[in-house]
Chains A and B, each alone.
Chain A
Amino acid sequence: MTATESRVKDLPIILPEPSEATSGEQVEQATEEWVEKFRGYYDQWGTLLQQNLDRLSRGSYSLHWLDTEHTHWGTRVQPSSRGLTAADIDRPKVYGTLPEHTEWRNFAPRGSARDLYKDAMPVIEGYDVLDKSHLWADNVNTLYEEAKVRQWNSTTDIPWSELEPVSEELEKAACQLSTFLTEVEFVAGDFPSRWVWRTAPDFFEVNNFLTTQMVDEARHMEVFRKRAMAGAGGLMHPSPAFEWALKAILESPTHSQGTFLLNVLGEGLVLSIFRAGEFLSKTHVDKEIFRLCMQDEARHVSYGTLEFKAYLDAAADRERALADMHRFADIGEQIILTALSEPALLESVAVLMGGSVAEIDEGMEGVGFLWSTIVEEYLQRCDRAGFSRRDRCTIPLEFPWAA
């Protein structure tokens, strides 16, 4: 046993006293498991540690990192007019070619001299999304750059001091809509987070974009929570109908299926609501909120549409992939319809459109226009992805409202 090995094996396990504020036993058990796991890997990392310490103790250098034989040394990336963009650094094929499938389940950067170290690398078991076809969209680099430069701050970019009082029933409707939007924005951020940590770093372009989506959705959740409170109203009624739709999105079996349900259908729906927000808004404050959120949401919809297209285009058996997606969409549409038909959503929007509870019938006519837009734009995006739902869509094309 080397000196280093002895030192590691003899390390005392020092655990804090379990506290009532934390699940003490769980922490203790998890810590023990982690320690045992990495003790078990000692032959691999301990060898590296021993070599490094030996070298240091000899006062010698390795300088292996100066060797460029297995790198792409000398490949210069050129900035475009906008600066050095994500697309610019993907332009040289040696750096920008994404694998259709990767076995690199660690952090070694694509394009580095990583082949030399393959056998010594750890495997991150959590990385289990290894196929480009479940992630990629041709516009992902463009959308990532766009997301970076079009960020905004709900604290300072919304003219909160200009929020004008409206009637109590209009404020209740605005707060109910804000409550709904707060609720749905949680899942729109949580869904990508569920997949980012499973996605192999070879597909970092997608992860980068998805992290901007997470930031966008955090900001939307924040701004609608603020809006509910800023007019002295408050958060209103959450809805089981919403929650079932959100659960279906979050628990989608694959990233592509969930992206279809969230980005194409769900966010397409919310995009139309944000757009209609210009109509619903009774103040410049609300109009500014909806306009800024609309821009962010449209990026997510664009990614979803082209990701879905890329998934279908890459399918080895396209007919089978289409059949699976139709089966998924048949129930997915019905679950989203459960949320879309929720009175806490439709009625609050109708009151905002009509101008009062007494004029809710007029508002429902406007909701009918909105409904048709939501469904038609959804079908257009499906067409664009190569997934025709026009003869199979289970959401009524016309607003099912008997005035």
Chain B
Amino acid sequence: MMGPVADPITPSDAAPAPVARVAFPSVQWFEALGQRMHDQRDHFAKIGDMDCTMQLTLYDASPAGQPWRCQVEFEGTDVVDVREVGEGDEERADFVIETDLDTWREMVDNIVANGGRPDLDHTLNRLSLPGVPIRLWGVDPVRRDAYYRFNQSLQHYVNNAAAFGTRWPGDADEAPLPAPDGPAARA
């Protein structure tokens, strides 16, 4: 759980510090995206406020290979809460995106490889079209449509994965990444 995202972790006028890898899946990983979102408030304000709660369900991502579920609550240009949830909590989310760990990892790797902008085949919306690996659903079709209404903001939120390293299940607990040259580009 986290409250409203507070001061930036890395003030923008400080020298770039080595970037720690953040474990995935974890609440901290989505909070780290929220911190970058907070740091880019002007950019996200230009795209427009976003008020919705997203749930990500990964079918196979818990240590025991069971589903792992996380809800991210957006308000305006901030992430105000990230929480791990259990089965049956979907009512608290406007929409649910479900996939497996490999699909999510491929998407993030693609975002990183392209400097913060995925190629044409690895956007959230592209991957969640019918018949492709991410399933989109919601208990209420009007609330589910928030995924469409805020899709650009959601994409830019996820694109910030390029701004820090991700430690995937099975990765060695290695040294942090070197400091990036500059802010990640965006889609």
Contact = CB atoms under 8 A, between A and B. Distances in A.
Chain A complexes with chain B: yes
Interface of A: 81-82, 139, 142, 145-146, 149-151, 271, 275-276, 278-279, 281-284, 287-288, 291-292, 294-295, 297-299, 301-302, 305-306, 366, 369-370, 372-373, 377, 380-381, 383-384
A149 B129 contact: no
Given A146-B49, A279-B126, A384-B141, A302 B149 contact: yes
Contacts of A276: 129
Nearest to B49: A149
Interface of B: 45, 47-49, 51, 75-76, 117, 120, 123, 125-126, 129-131, 140-142, 145-146, 148-152, 155, 187
Nearest to B119: A284
B149 A299 contact: yes
Contact of B152 (A139, A291, A302, A366): A291
* Of A275, A283, A288, A369, most B-chain CB atoms within 10 Å: A275
Given A146-B49, A287-B120, A381-B141, A372 B130 contact: yes
Nearest to A299: B149
In the A-B complex, the 3 residue pairs with the closest CB atoms: A150-B48, A298-B148, A380-B141
B145 A298 contact: yes
B152 A292 contact: yes
B135 to A, nearest CB: 12
A306 B126 CA distance: 27
Contacts of A284: 117, 120, 187
Given A291-B152, A373-B130, A384-B141, 7 more contacts: A146-B49, A149-B45, A150-B149, A276-B129, A283-B120, A284-B120, A291-B155
A380 B141 CA distance: 6
Contact of B142 (A139, A278, A370): A139
Contact of A305 (B129, B142, B155): B142
A372 to B, nearest CB: 7
Nearest to B117: A284
Nearest to A295: B149
Contacts of A306: 142
13 contacts: A146-B48, A150-B149, A275-B125, A275-B129, A278-B120, A282-B120, A295-B150, A295-B151, A298-B149, A299-B149, A302-B149, A373-B130, A384-B141
A295 B142 contact: no
* Of B75, B76, B151, B155, most A-chain CB atoms within 10 Å: B151
A205 B187 CA distance: 34
Given A291-B151, A299-B149, A369-B131, A82 B126 contact: no
A384 B142 contact: yes
A284 to B, nearest CB: 7
Contacts of A381: 141-142
B130 to A, nearest CB: 5
B148 A275 contact: yes
A223 to B, nearest CB: 14
* Of A279, A305, A366, most B-chain CB atoms within 10 Å: A279
* Of A151, A278, A373, A383, most B-chain CB atoms within 10 Å: A278
* Of A139, A142, A291, A372, most B-chain CB atoms within 10 Å: A291
Contacts of A377: 141
Given A275-B125, A369-B130, A301 B145 contact: yes
Nearest to B126: A278
A143 to B, nearest CB: 9
Contact of B129 (A278, A295, A299): A278
Contacts of B51: 142, 146
A384 B149 contact: no
A44 B145 CA distance: 51
A281 B146 CA distance: 22
Given A150-B48, A369-B130, A294 B141 contact: no
A325 to B, nearest CB: 18
A283 B117 CA distance: 13
Contacts of A292: 152
Given A275-B129, A291-B152, A291-B155, A302 B49 contact: no
Contacts of B151: 291, 294-295
Contacts of B148: 271, 275, 294-295, 297-298
